[in-house]
A and B are shown apart, each in its own frame.
Chain A
Amino acid sequence: DGGITQSPKYLFRKEGQNVTLSCEQNLNHDAMYWYRQDPGQGLRLIYYSQIVNDFQKGDIAEGYSVSREKKESFPLTVTSAQKNPTAFYLCATAPGTLEKLFFGSGTQLSVL
């Protein structure tokens, strides 16, 4: 897990509520990514950012939002528009494009 901190480890969301997952890194990496993993499945890309103040949608961005105001931080908000949010969320960083990813330890989000 190295210098990537995801919090909280477990999170519960009520109906109609927005929740924010935190991802902080001290690796000085430019690129940051959010992936969603459903049980027994691979990772699907939600959003990614290759530089501060810029980010792009991944394959499943609907119902999610992000910001990249600081190099160290890339929070993910799961909005009430995301009707099936229960999943394991993984944040990753990379020094740049086409380089290996470093992963955080993940946040398990469940719906109450």
Chain B
Amino acid sequence: SQQGEEDPQALSIQEGENATMNCSYKTSINNLQWYRQNSGRGLVHLILIRSNEREKHSGRLRVTLDTSKKSSSLLITASRAADTASYFCATDSLTTGGFKTIFGAGTRLFVKA
């Protein structure tokens, strides 16, 4: 099962524009994380936000978390062609088997130069 659902599935923007991706999830969480994946490669961690936090920044990235709506957003400001990749949200939750990290289906971002 996939906990998170990203929206939109795909996004195409011009270089210099901002890109916003959203993630919704179903059950209560401990953390929410965002990862990036270039085609055919492993994932790279971008940012982790804990359930008691509402916003975090890292360089051109801004992540928000609304636990009441079970949703998060990732904003990339002043996008560059090199930001072209797939972006995944992942939720950390306690299950019967212990803590698990579950990924959504991702948003494919294409930044045109």
Contact = CB atoms under 8 A, between A and B. Distances in A.
Interface of A: 1, 4, 33, 35, 40-45, 48, 50, 56-59, 88, 90, 92, 94, 97-106, 108
A23 to B, nearest CB: 11
B45 A100 contact: yes
Contacts, number: 65
Interface stretch (B12-20, B35-43, B69-77): B35-43
Contacts of A102: 45
A98 B42 contact: no
Given A103-B42, A103-B43, A42 B97 contact: no
15 contacts: A35-B103, A41-B105, A41-B106, A42-B88, A42-B104, A44-B2, A56-B98, A59-B102, A90-B42, A94-B101, A100-B45, A101-B90, A103-B44, A105-B42, A106-B40
Contacts of B83: none
Interface residues of B, number: 28
Interface of B: 1-2, 4, 30-31, 33, 35, 40-45, 48, 88, 90, 92, 97-106, 108
A58 B42 contact: no
Contacts of A88: 40
A64 B92 CA distance: 23
Contact of A98 (B31, B44, B102, B103): B31
A97 B106 contact: no
Given A88-B40, A97-B92, 6 more contacts: A40-B108, A42-B88, A56-B98, A90-B43, A98-B30, A100-B33
